[in-house]
Amino acid sequence: MSAAYPFSAIVGLADLRLALVLNAVSPAVGGVLVRGEKGTAKSTMVRALASQLPEVAVVPGCRFSCEPVRPDEHCPDGPHDPAVGGVSRAARLVELPVGASEDRLAGSLDIERALTEGVKAYEPGLLAAAHRGVLYVDEVNLLHDHLVDLLLDAAAMGTSHVEREGVSVRHAARFLLVGTMNPEEGELRPQLLDRFGLTVEVAASREPRERAEVVRRRLAYEADPDGFAARWADEDAALAGRILAARKVLPDVRLPDAELERIARVCASFEVDGMRADLVTARTSIALAAWHGRTEVTAEDVRQAALLALPHRRRRNPFDAPGLDEALLDEALRDPEEPEPEPEPEPEGDGPDGGGEPPAGSDGSERSDGADRSDGSNGSDKADGAGSEGPKSTEAAPSSAPGTEDAPVAGAPAGSDGGREQAAVAAAEPYRTRLFAVPGVGQGAAGRRSRARTASGRTTGAQVAAGRVTRLHVAATVRAAALHQKARGRTGAGLLLRRADLREAVREGREGNLVLFVVDASGSMAARKRMQAVKGAVLSLLLDAYQRRDKVGLVTFRGAGASLALPPTSSVEIGAARLAALPTGGRTPVGAGLLRAHETLRVERLRDPLRRPLLVVVTDGRATGGRDALGESRRAARLLAAGGVASLVVDCESGPVRLGLAARLAGDLGGPVVTLDELAAEGLAGLVRDVRSVA
């Protein structure tokens, strides 16, 4: 087996390195969530950390890694004899796969043996294996919500509790929790983000020399893993020794009242919810002081701890990216009696480096600065500069004349449908929408939209157990066994059970769906107020999809065809960003948009056959752009309906004269139609029933 990649050999990622080390020093910090783009060595560094942890002493033969001096009194393998002593082994790194079940994570009870033999048989899960080690969850944002809840509860309490039909087992589960995620694939809920102690954003270096060194070391490791590890053995050993020394100093570190008040002041100024931020920041500050060999927390420790503990707790709504303004942090950290720093004097001179006007055509910054921006903006931060492609502010655009709210934006040719492309407009404020559900009962991933058979939820019936029983239906089992008690010779009070008597509960809950938006971006939608309302409606539906654990996709159509603006993803944040940048103009190829949606759903069905789709078409129904544009749209709609795709049409038509084309399109799709006004939660009563009635 090849040696693991050395922790000390990893280039850069200083914040991640520090966050992992602080959790190794003090597991009470609460773990690390690592956010970053793919290919940034997130997993490599986490796996390398395990080799830096001190060895642990365990009771021989204990499957739950009990400490010999203080064994867990609830240990299923106990009680342990203190006279037996202990053995030392390396701290474990346990990886939780995305597709793991609840029994695999928490452990499983053999209900069959418990009922038929009276034996409490418990098979430990990954939480037991990770006790006193590291539990690593790659792509934690793709893990089912109920597993994340279970995982974080165990991490917070230090105990795993498994209960099935009145039979319960409890054991210690204290571990260093590390989760990694790519934000492009969807965010964690704010409630779950808050449960991670620290968060770190990582990105690949834009410095050519540093990137070259990363490649050089990786190639050297792949050519000779053991030799490469040996070359970094001394550095890794020194790091492990420093972690052990910091653990010894940790109990002696003092948090002065002044620094504790500073922590409280910072958390209050950033309006974080609850008190967990204060506790995590305090624990991290103490760990930082111990890491630096000090016995008293300083203001710099508090600042560094806040940079790691607060960014992910600043999210105020699902479309906000985690982050922290360091200038505001420094303002909050300053003592109340400390005078504010004086502003720096304006530099003298002309041009970009001085205080005068920049040269004509310049934006006041060096050209190379925009080319090397690591955030991908390429220096185009100007709000209204020539050549800017970002969304224009609604305040900066001329308002529509009275009575022309549904006319194309000024500049479109007379008598056209807005053939020229118009700049993107901002969306109206989102609002709470009604629940639109897919009809029938599905079997998809757990969520909060449509009815489905799930592992959790209300019990609706029972069935003969086919395999291992994990959800026993007690009443149905007793009824099945009662018929055979006389034949089995029962004489006592106990019930004689056989394997064939066991019945498994059938439960119904909610599933998440694939909500595919098909948005009309043609010239007929280009009126500023109408497009603002349309984008606000789609943004509201995106927010609803986020809350109901759906995947989302976005198809837009205008001009000569349609495009898949957002392939199906769990990241509604990206959907909101693509919607914000959506330009309008051109003809209205409704048929092309529906055909593109049909192809997208066909491919997605191959990837995820259990996730049922909900098609949301946002249009006024006017089909232009060909000899038989209306006929093409109707044929495409009927093709989707024939495939059993549940659909909803949001009618964007407005004005005193309405053609009702969106309602006709909804009829071809076999789904309901709602206006923008009826989309809100206080709209039409019984709308959910209408959507569900579609077969």
Contact criterion met (CB below 8 Å) for 89 and 68? no
Task: Write the DSSP string, 88-106.
Answer: EEPPPEEE--TT--HHHHH
User: What are the structure tokens assigned to 358, written together?
Assistant: 């920049």
Contact criterion met (CB below 8 Å) for 133 and 24? no
> How far is 474 from 463, CA to CA, in rounded Å?
12
Nearest to 333 by CA among 324, 342, 344, 320: 324
Q: Kindly give, in sequence order, each residue whose CB lies less than 8 Å from that of residue 19, ignoring residues fewer than 6 positions away.
A: 32, 198, 200, 308
Contact criterion met (CB below 8 Å) for 649 and 522? no
> How far is 613 from 607, CA to CA, in rounded Å?
13
Backbone angles phi, psi at 150, to 5 degrees: -60, -45
Neighbour count for residue 167 (Cβ, 10 Å):
16
Amino acid at 416: S
User: What are the structure tokens assigned to 659, written together?
Assistant: 């053609």
Annotated catalytic residue: which of 276, 434, 549, 634? Answer: 276
Q: Which helix (H) or strand (E) holds 156?
A: helix 145-157
Strand (E) positions, 85-202? 87-89, 93-95, 108-109, 122-123, 134-138, 159-164, 167-172, 176-181, 198-202
- Point out which residues pair with 137 in neighbouring strands: 179
276 is known as an active-site residue:
yes
Torsion of the alpha carbons at 447, 448, 451 and 454, rounded to the nearest 10 = 40
User: Which residues are known catalytic residues?
Assistant: 276
